[in-house]
Structure 1
Amino acid sequence: MQITNRGLVKAFITQHNSNYRKKMKLIFWIVCLLGTFLYGGSCLKVQYNGDQVLQIIPQTAKHAEYLQELANNWPLDLWRPNIPEGIQAGREVHIHIPSSHVNEMKNVLLQYDIPYSVLIEDVQQSIDMNMVHNKNMKAVSLNTYDYTQYHPMHEIYDWMEQIKENHNDLVTKLYLGETYEKRPIYYFRVGWPSEKKKKIMFIDCGFHAREWVSVAFCQWFVKELVSSHKSDAILAKVLKEVDFYIVPVFNIDGYIYTWTTERLWRKNRAPFNNGTCYGVDLNRNFDAQWCTIGASKNCSSNTFCGPSAASEPETKALAGLIERIKSDILFYLTIHSYGKMILLPYGYKDEVSKDHDLMMKVATKANEQMKVKNNNEYAAGASASVIGYYDSGSSGDWATDIGIKFSYTFELRDNGTHGFQLPQDQIKPTCEEVTTAILSMVEYVHDNYLENSGVALTAVWINMFISVICLYYTINL
């Protein structure tokens, strides 16, 4: 049967966009009024009651084309891939559908014979289940801080200050810069003081506001560093010659917005077009083939690359720090979710970095350690190959472009069952397995880059030389 797909899609979009805007405006004002009545303030949250996340698998190139057209013209929130161009035949597509359009979307999929299933039955219920938080907590205490719970930004600020105060022999809290909304961005330097210049392992979390498990991971990893160095001989040695630079929350404005207003917000909060749209995707804002592919110049898009490379104060601050210390950075690790992947450069082309084979060797070892820990492993490889589409302007690609040898992007759990609302009972196993992976990389640093590695290697050669001499005289005497 011949389907006039373009006409159907356009009619579908035209018919429902007007109703959608009216309904959303009504819902917005209802939420505002309820928020004012119940909490004595303004609007609290965007609601997602009845919204669903569908898993769709286009079977043909035509199916993929239909979905791309819908994604480009209809208010869909693409979760996987995050750009319409990434929709391909045979690859899973995860799309968040507003409740007012769920039935229409399903009907279109049925009419096109495109198979789908429901990943998340009710997005708001999923959010509510994962918003469990101890609101009565008056002050943060390291003794009671729960690393298996998601924390709002004011608690993370307090936590950072207490980490600094309680571990000031090992930890220094430093100022990175400020956000668009003038909030301070801090990072930790974790390592023993030394008169010698030290190597660096750089880790950042919370690029995308809604990826809460990323933020939870950085807190967990700091906890592991300050609590495990006394019992972990390798880590103790590494901390003498390597500093860990850790940014617990990079996109602070966006992260706060996900707690106060819109849980599924992704970008920062810079306004554009006289405030008609907000936010830049900070991981499309770096000078790595900026906005050439896999990014949008439309400020309403979730992948808006910004007006220029490094246009955002957050991006400028991070890039400025890394530029100053790049010659000392051994590893750059940026932590995201979801998808369970370890991504290597590049995202903007099919080529791989000159150190790809060595990077794959290190990533494979890290994966093996995760499998031992939780019988869980991540897909690993060049970003464009693993994800299946191109993107530009990422911090991981930029780090490689400026000469950092080992640059990895981690996409944490899960594979889509929960998406960005990863249940809190999965924070611990997620953080455990990724910590194991990164500590595997720490072992690689220990074995190949530290001074004691050279001493050990020299000792091996001396022992071999002595053994040969002894063997020679044994045979000839």
Structure 2
Amino acid sequence: MKLSTAISLLAGAAPLVSAAAAPRLERKMNYDGYKAYSIATHHNPAAIKAKLTRFAAIPFNLDNDEHLDIAIPAEEVAAFEALGLETQLMHEDLGADIAEEGTFAPYTSVGAQAVPSLTWFNSYHAYADHITFFNDLQASFPNASEIFTIGKSFQGRDIFGIHIWGSGGKGSKPAIYFHGTVHAREWISAKVVEYITYHLLTQYATDAAVRAIRDKFDFYILPVVNPDGFVYTQTNDRLWRKNRQTRSGQSCVGTDQNRNWNYQWSVTGGASTSPCSETYKGLAAGDTPEIRALTAFTTTLKNSRGIRLYIDWHSYGQYILLPYGYDCSARASNHAAQSSLASGMATRIRQSYGTTFTTGPSCSTLYKTTGSAPDYMTAVGGATYAWTIELRPAGSSGGGFVLPATQILPSSIEQWEGIKYVLAQV
């Protein structure tokens, strides 16, 4: 899709439509030879977009004021580079990097006989293996965890999670609530929440700090809340973002699940009404089966022991984003406490590998979002803290969504250190 088409669909200021959002159904997308660049916008992204209208560019990021990350087809690279824009190269050959990232290590079930090996985090894996990994992990700790499902995706897949508890017994403490892989192409998010899950279970008996936080909270961790989209990224299009919902009378597929929650859904400027957009909000708030199921489960947690901390794990950019996204002047009632806690987490993350995370309210720090999960969790779900964490890499380098498998463990380790700090404070 030419960027001129994307801009006309979204009235200029809205996020660009990626070719990944085009109505190609089951066609296999080939990114061989594409080069990806991060373009400095100097706070004038509209001027850069205007220069790109003649290219079949695929945008990676959405309305970032400082840089625009895009992929350019091989046959247009020379003309693009002739523009003389200030760029950093993200992928020399996007297709080759996708192929390398998608070389999945095999996973063989260990059942209840042994805890899965940490080698799980040396590679990305097929969706079915994620299910097996969680079943194996839970089977190793049957008296402190259980697998649960909250409903079905549009294509009928289970939306599953794991519930972990400590000495107080099942369901006796406030909830820590994590979502991963809301946006299908953000593979690293599943790995990070899996690493946290792994260590919550395996270190309880030997680490006093882990034991303290397990005894203080019940954990509800859903690693892949967009299973249809996630599977599609592994079979057809690595850069697919949305779910795979079809709608009568619409040729384009999918709704952005992080624009479909029933809080400030109707506010303009933070989502798109175009079905072909990557930020398509749907026809009505909560009209995707995945968000209906997640909303019902959130209500159950709220009405039980309450939600102390919610985190929506995403990539990329290295941000810890606080409420709110729908209005750049809106703040949570406990904003000062949230800001202090996020800053402390960023400091703890940095101690592992020197990775820097930016903190601040979602709208004013990054861009406007409406119908988002953290806004809903704050205003409706009653969560004391509700954040989006955008994982590695920073936007200007490192691969964007296609993060090398060698980055899985460092990303996971630094987040584990950060979340231990947070859980000790809340």
Aligned counterpart, 2:138:
164
Deviation of 1:307 after TM superposition, in Å, equals 1.2
User: Are 2:184 and 2:229, in contact at CA under 8 Å, matched by a contact in 1?
Assistant: yes
Counterparts of 1:60-459 in structure 2, within 5 Å, are 61=44, 64-69=45-50, 75-80=56-61, 82=62, 86=63, 88=65, 91-107=66-82, 109-110=83-84, 114-135=85-106, 137=107, 139=109, 142-144=115-117, 146-192=120-166, 194=169, 197-272=172-247, 274=249, 276-291=251-266, 292-326=268-302, 328-351=306-329, 352-387=331-366, 389-402=367-380, 403-416=382-395, 417=397, 418-445=399-426
Alignment check: 8 A CA contact 1:48 1:99 kept: no
Please tell me the residue identity of whatever aligns with 1:264. L
CA distance in 2: counterparts of 1:244 and 1:342, whole angstroms? 20
Deviation per residue, 1:28-70 (Å, 9 max, x gap): x9xxxxxxxxxxxx96x42101112121123474xx3333456
User: In the alignment, which residue of structure 1 is the partner of 2:11?
Assistant: none
Question: What is the alpha-carbon distance in structure 2 between the residues aligned to residue 87 and residue 167 of structure 1?
Answer: 43
Are the counterparts in 1 of residues 105 and 125 from structure 2 also a CA contact under 8 Å? Answer: no
More helix by share: 1
Range 166-175 or range 50-59, more displaced: 50-59
Letter in 2 for 1:252: P
Q: Please give the alpha-carbon distance, in whole angstroms, between the structure 1 residues aligned to 2:332 and 2:237.
A: 38
The farther-off stretch of 280-289 and 337-346 is 280-289
Q: TM-score, normalised by structure 1?
A: 0.77
CA-to-aligned-CA distance 1:298-335 (integer Å, 9 cap, x gap): 11111111111111111111111112222611000110
Please, which moves more after superposition, 96-105 or 248-257?
96-105
Tell me the distance in 2 between the aligned counterparts of 1:366 and 1:444: 10
| TM-aligned CA deviation for residue 125 of structure 1 | 1.1
Distance 1:430-1:60 versus aligned 2 partners, 3 A rule: closer
Pairing 1:47–2:25 present? no
In structure 1, stretches of 5+ residues that fail to align are 1-8, 15-23, 30-41, 446-477
Q: How far apart are the structure 2 equivalents of 1:435 and 1:157?
A: 21
Contact 2:271-2:281 within 8 A present in 1 as well: yes
**So what's the TM-score if we normalise by structure 2?**
0.86
Q: Which runs of 5+ in 2 are unaligned?
A: 9-18
Residue 197 (structure 1) shift: 3.3
Q: Alpha-carbon deviation of 1:139? A: 4.1
How far apart, in 1, do the equivalents of 2:186 and 2:386 lie? 20
Identity %: 27
Equivalent-residue separation in structure 2 for 1:319 and 1:196 (angstroms): 19
Q: Does the Cα contact within 8 Å between 2:173 and 2:218 map onto a contact in 1?
A: yes
Tell me, in whole angstroms, the C-alpha distance in 1 between the residues paired with 2:4 and 2:29. 27
Indicate the structure whose relative CO is greater, using CA pairs within 8 Å and at least 6 residues apart.
2
d(CA) in 1 for partners of 2:419 and 2:4?
Answer: 48
- Go from structure 1 to structure 2 and tell me whether the alpha carbon gap of 1:265 and 1:383 turns closer, same or farther (over 3 Å shift): same
Distance in structure 2 (CA, Å) of the matches to 1:279 and 1:124: 23
RMSD: 2.7
Q: Look up the SS of the partner of 1:185 in the other structure.
A: strand
Tell me: CA distance 1:235–1:116, structure 2 relative to 1, closer, same or farther (3 Å): closer
**TM-aligned CA deviation for residue 278 of structure 1:** 0.7
Report the AA paired with residue 144 of structure 2.
L
Partner letter of residue 96 of structure 2? Q
Paired AA for residue 77 in structure 2: V
Give the whole-Å Cα distance in 1 for the aligned partners of 2:288 and 2:110: 31
Q: Tell me, what secondary structure is at the counterpart of 2:369?
A: coil
Please give the alpha-carbon distance, in whole angstroms, between the structure 2 residues aligned to 1:395 and 1:372. 29
Note the C-alpha offset of 1:367: 1.5
Local SS of the residue matching 1:342: strand
Please say if residues 257 and 265 of structure 1, whose CA atoms lie closer than 8 Å, have aligned partners that are also in contact. yes
Structure 1 counterpart of 2:41, from 46, 58, 62: 58
Amino acid at match of 1:425: T
